[in-house]
Every structure is written in C-alpha cells, then in structure tokens.
Amino acid sequence: MYLGGIDILVNNAGVAVFGPFTEIKLSDFDRTFTINVRAVFAATQAAARHMKDGGRIINIGSCNAERMPFQGGAAYAMSKAALVGLVKGLARDLGPRGITIKNVQPGPINIEMNPSDGDFAKTLIGLMALPHFGTVSDVAAMVSYLAGPESGFVTGASLTVDGGFTT
C-alpha cells in the first residue's frame, strides 16, 4: 500500500567512545563512525528517494562538533562534525525539491548515556552558561519546530541546544 511518501526523517542515533587518543581501538572508531555518520547518510539517502517535495530531514548531532573542552573526545567530535558538513552539502542537493535539512546540536542533556547525576556532570555544568543539564523535551521542542512549516526557510543549518555550553 502506498501512503504518499515520506514527510519527515529524524536521524537520532549515536554512540560515544571516550578515552586517550592513542588507546582508542580502531574497532571503536569504526563503530562510532558507522553509527554516527554512515547510518545518517544511508537513512537520509533512502528516505530522500521517497520523500515528498518540501520534506524535512533533521539530524541529531552534538555541540561537541564545535567545542570539545576535554581530552578523549576526538573520535566523537569528529563524527558529529561530519554531520555539519553533510547537512551543508545536502542542503544544496535537496534544496531544489524544497526539502530542508538541519542539524540539531544538543549539549549536556539528561539521558542514559550522559546522566545529570553522573560522575562527569559537575564538570559539564561548570562549563555552561545555564548551570544545569537540559532535558529530552528541550531537544524535542527544537526538532518539532524544525519539522514544521515555520522552519521552511531554514536549511543547511546547525542549531545548538546546549545551555550555553559552546559560548
């Protein structure tokens, strides 16, 4: 049954491996790149083939694409920075069809991978203008805006939701 195509794609999967650069295993690097970059590319390519003109593509990246304030995060930061370049390129490729593509870059958000009461939370909060972790709802609100008609002239952009982490 054909339901009329795809309207919105949200690429929201990611992994992080942190540790001394000289000790990161290539298998961990490959897994990081595969999930954080290759999967986004593949899902976007597949969806774009069936997406309606005027569709929306939203990637969940990370503010660490722009700021990595501690050691051990090079592979993760690189993978999220790759999404910035992908979004800029795809804005040109998909723009003629009216399809917009954006990158949401959350900062410290209270999730299982990065809990607000975890060992590293106090350090992160000390780096933020708003001294508390964000919530999944903070990110969801940005995604909702970007999926809607009000953001029809926003494409190729990376929008940060990070409580001032990158300021």
Name the residues annotated as catalytic. 76
Amino acid code (one letter) for 122: K
CA-to-CA separations, 85 to 4, 108, 137, 156, 157, in angstroms, rounded: 30, 22, 26, 9, 10
Which among 114, 144, 159, 123 is positioned nearest to 15, based on CA atoms?
114
> Which pair of tokens denotes residue 83?
């999404």
Q: Please give the Cα distance from 122 to 124 (Å, whole number).
A: 5
